[in-house]
Structures are given as structure tokens and as C-alpha cells.
Amino acid sequence: MLAEVSALDVALVRAIVAFVVLSALLVLGGRGTTLREELRERPLNSLVQGIISFAASSLLAMIALSYLPASVVGLLSNTSPLWLAIGTLALFRPADSWRLLLGAAIAFAGMALVLFQDSRALAAVGAQELNATGIVIALLCSVVIALSAVWGRYSLRRSDPLASTALAALWGALPLAFLAGRSGEVNLILTASLPVKGLLLFLGVGCTAVNFALWFHALQKMPAARASIFQYLVPLITAVLAAAFLAEPITLNLALGGMLIFGGIALAQEHASSSTRALNTSP
């Protein structure tokens, strides 16, 4: 997509499509008034979430991809569960907090094995010098994602996840639309090829509207540090689906990485059994 449209365009379309899809679902489900109630009673919740989740994180991830291979961006931007585990340890110091931190570290190592399981990913890194600017941007993206999880956990205690996500997408789209209009990059969306437009639509519906709504719903049910570690399943599930539908090989790195991911997640969730009360009082 980035061969035809800009990173700003991708972030803008994702936010707009997510708002339209989620709003339509609320209206069709007879809950259209929930949007108005959320906007009237808790406007700050969705406003901050929109700027963090839909504008800042999406834009930073797309910019990082212009400097680094996708595998490296995926690795660096997914350090957010580690930041949350460290923050939980530093701020709340539950008795068995080492389980959360160690579990996040083990799952992160497993994700790294999965991301770099084949020679193509390693060759991409070897062929492209690791740009320092790209590394900083990807790490900054991970910090923004961590902040998004914390704010989501705090703000969704009294909010409807679907309505809050829809409004967050709208708020996130506004600054992106302003920047795209100033730069004239909106025209790139209109002139993009049909396959790219289809990919943009898929990103907006599946990878943004559905993804964010499920994520914020999860944050209503469990602390941010615990929920975030499940993100490490993403590259593993991707690799398994690729093996099932694209006949890509199951490598030793994939098997070992999968074991580490599941082991790290299990260890981190075990931590919650004795510290759920402390974490539930935190954002």
C-alpha cells in the first residue's frame, strides 16, 4: 500500500472506516443513542483514546515501516507489554510481580523467534541497514500503545466499548484529515489502484474496527498488563495460518517460539491469581 499511498493516508482511512462500521453496527443493533450518551457524558474518554490509539500509534507504525523491515517494526512496536509489566512492578509492587515481568519477557522472546523464523525475514534485515530513526519511532510507537492500554483500562470502566471505540476513531480521524488536507495527500487515496483501495477497506474493517472493539472490550474485563501479553499470539497465529493456507513450512523456530509464547502468557496470567485486586484498582 505504501507504494501508492502515504502512511498518513493509511492511518486516516483506517480511522474513518472504523467509525462508519462501528456506528452502523450500533444503529442496526438499536443502540444508536449510546453514541450520543457517550459523547455527552464522557467526551474526554474517547477523545484521548482517539488521539493515542487511532492517530498517534497508527501513524508512528506506518512511518517506522518506511525506515525498517516489517519484522523489525513488529518486534520493536510489540515491546508495549514489557513496558506495562515494568510499570506494574514499579508502581504497585505486588508480591509475585516477577511472574508478570518474566512471563512478558519469555513471550517476547518467543515472538522474536516466530518473527525471524525463516531466512526471508533475516535476509530483509541483513539487506537493509537498521535505521536509528526507524528504531526510535518503532519504540515510541510501543510506548504509545502501552499508554493506550492504560487509558483504555481506566476510561472503559463506565463506557460502552463499541460506542467508545467508534467515537475514538472519529476523534482520531480529525487531526489525520487536517494533516492530509494540508499536505494534499488525500488525492493519493482517490487515485490508488483498486487492490490498494480494497486493502485499505480491509484494514479499516477487520484490522481496525473489529480489532479495536474487541481489544477495548477485553480491557473492560482484565488489567492492561495482563491483556497486553496476549498480543504476542499475533505472529504465532499468523505463522500457523500461513502454514495451513499457504503451505509455508513449520520451522523449529516457530515451534520453539510458540512454546515460549504460551509459556510466558501462562506464567503472566498465574501472577494475576494473587494480585488481581491490586491491579483492578489501577488504570
CB 172 within 8 Å of CB 15: yes
Nearest CA-CA partner of 13 in 200, 190, 205, 210: 200
**pLDDT tens string 23-67:** 998 988 888 888 888 888 888 888 998 999 888 887 888 788 888
- In sequence order, which residues have a C-beta less than 8 Å from that of residue 27 and are 6 or more positions away? none
Within 10 angstroms of residue 281's Cβ, the number of other Cβ atoms is 9
User: For position 96, what pLDDT does the model report?
Assistant: 62
CB 2 within 8 Å of CB 65: yes
CA distance to 31, 57, 229, per residue, from 146 (Å): 30, 10, 11
Does position 279 have pLDDT exceeding 70, yes or no?
no
134 is a domain residue: yes
Residue matched to cell numbers 536509528: 132
User: For position 125, what pLDDT does the model report?
Assistant: 55
Domain span at 205? 7-280
pLDDT interval class at 277 (50, 70, 90): very low
Nearest CA-CA partner of 111 in 235, 27, 204: 235
CB 116 within 8 Å of CB 281: no
**pLDDT tens string 138-178:** 889 989 988 888 888 888 777 788 888 899 999 999 988 88
Best mean pLDDT range from 75-79, 131-135, 202-206 = 202-206
Mean pLDDT of all residues belonging to the chain: 80
User: For position 271, what pLDDT does the model report?
Assistant: 52
263 is a domain residue: yes
Q: Which three cell numbers stand for residue 133?
A: 530513526
Q: How far is it, in rounded angstroms, from Cα 138 to Cα 140?
A: 5
In terms of C-beta density within 10 A (0-12 exposed, 13-18 middle, 19 or more buried), how is residue 20 classed?
Answer: middle
Q: How far is it, in rounded angstroms, from Cα 121 to Cα 224?
A: 30
Burial 49-61 (b: 16+ CB within 10 A, else e): bbbbbbbbbbbbb
User: For position 275, what pLDDT does the model report?
Assistant: 45
Q: At what angle do helices 32-41 and 161-183 cross, to 10 degrees?
A: 80
2 is a domain residue: no
Is the entire prediction scored with pTM above 0.75? Answer: no
Q: What are phi and psi of 131, to 5 degrees?
A: -75, 130
Domain count of the chain?
Answer: 1
In terms of C-beta density within 10 A (0-12 exposed, 13-18 middle, 19 or more buried), how is residue 158 classed?
Answer: exposed
Q: How far is it, in rounded angstroms, from Cα 201 to Cα 194?
A: 11
Q: How far is it, in rounded angstroms, from Cα 207 to Cα 184?
A: 26
